[in-house]
Amino acid sequence: MLDIKMIRQNVDEVKEQLGNRGVKPEIIDEIVSKDRKRRDIIVQTETLKKQRNDVSQAIAQLKRNKENADTQIEEMKKVGDAIKAFDEELNGLDEEVTDMASRLPNMPNKTIPVGPDEDSNVELRKVGTPRTFDFEPKAHWEIGEKLDILDFERGAKVAGSRFLYYKGWGARLERALYNFMLDEHAADGYTEIIPPYVVNDESMYGTGQFPKFKADVFQIENEDLTLIPTAEVPLTNYYRDEVIPEEKLPVYFTALSPSFRSEAGSAGRDTRGLIRLHQFNKVEMVKFAKPEDSYAELEKMTNDAGSIMEKLGLPYHVITLSTGDMGFSAAMTHDLEVWLPAQNMYREISSCSNTETFQARRAHIQYRDDDGKLQFVHTLNGSGLAVGRTLAAVLENYQNEDGSVTVPEVLRPYMGGLDVIK
């Protein structure tokens, strides 16, 4: 959440920066106007409260002198009624300003590309060379179904579209991938966590999913609980309403979890395969850092995600997202996209973001600086990696003409030494 004081003091800059993210300037004007009215009421209320205090003292003195205080008592009743009315108006304005501000996206870092959509994204680097096939490469769902390791038909029968069964070596390969990822992140200093897979509304608010994106998740009816869309939510909220000791920073967490997405608005997109599911496994990375260190930590997180693909031998590239393509909470995002031969294109497999203080303000996560003052931490999150999409990339990049799939060397110890899935 953006600091209302910052908005108030930098109205033109906020309009320009958030305008690059599609926010209309009238929304900022309305927030500032309501905030100004709110502060005016606070001043009037404090004046009335002082007046009430003075009148109360005068009444007490009159009573001590055994004099009539009816006029002053009547005056105090009117003052009390006015204060009550102002308090009710103030509470309403507080709720309105908070709700409107909570729906504003984060301010983008000034160095990222400005543009309305993904066409304005900027490629930072390519890593690895896509394989040249001497046969027509098949899509991962076709490979998986023919090997009898992915079953989309029965997944749809049991749960609906965008669900599947991993079977046999398919389940083993999925497990090999996430165990490999967790082991790599642990070696890089991340503390492994098994988090709750359901969270309350306050947690969803803390990371920025609520109130704006309720249509994108699965909520449990009549309960203050939501199936997590990513382990970013429980990991970031680990320190909600806490002060992290400065000497602990930076804190690194990693977790494997299922992720549940309603995929609202994705009708007709990626209807086959593992790219866009309602339920999928993802290994998440989350960091808590001092502001002066957070962008170095973002680069390291991006490299940590990239290292997984390099060790798996998967070609990928890194792009910096534009203002119009970036997620709600992010100030800067680097996407890593893996090469999928059957689609002849790169597809997102990890998104690494620095949210600066945006989530920390919402979740009240702070630390004490060298002067003993409370400051908001910077929070970062990234996929390390989306497991199903990684499995899809392995199937497509390591497929053989006879329909078999070679197991990447680093995964063989996790697969009982198996080198080819036939």
Binding-site residue set for L-serine: 230-232, 284, 383
Helix (H) or strand (E) segment spanning residue 35: helix 25-64
Q: Are strands 378-386 and 365-368 parallel, antiparallel or unpaired?
A: unpaired
Find the catalytic residue in 52, 103, 131, 276: 276
Find the catalytic residue in 142, 356, 389, 396: 389
Tokens of 9: 């003091």
172 is catalytic: no
Q: Which residues are annotated as a binding site for ATP?
A: 261-263, 348-351
Find the catalytic residue in 30, 89, 145, 348: 348
Helices (H), 208-293: 232-236
Helices (H), 350-416: 358-363, 387-397
Closest to 284 in 3D by CA, of 349, 230, 357, 330: 230
276 is catalytic: yes
Find the catalytic residue in 351, 356, 362, 396: 351
| Rounded CA Rg of the chain | 27
Tokens of 93: 């304005």
Q: Which residues are annotated as a binding site?
A: 230-232, 261-263, 284, 348-351, 383
Side-chain half-sphere exposure of 382, counting CA atoms within 13 A: 30
Closest to 131 in 3D by CA, of 408, 371, 396, 411: 396
Find the catalytic residue in 38, 261, 294, 362: 261
For tokens 């996929």, the residue is: 383
User: Residues near 391 by Cβ (< 8 Å), separated by ≥ 6?
Assistant: 140, 170, 173, 174, 177, 274
Cα-Cα-Cα-Cα torsion 230, 233, 238, 242, nearest 10 degrees, comes to: 160
368 is catalytic: no
Active site residues: 261, 276, 348, 351, 389
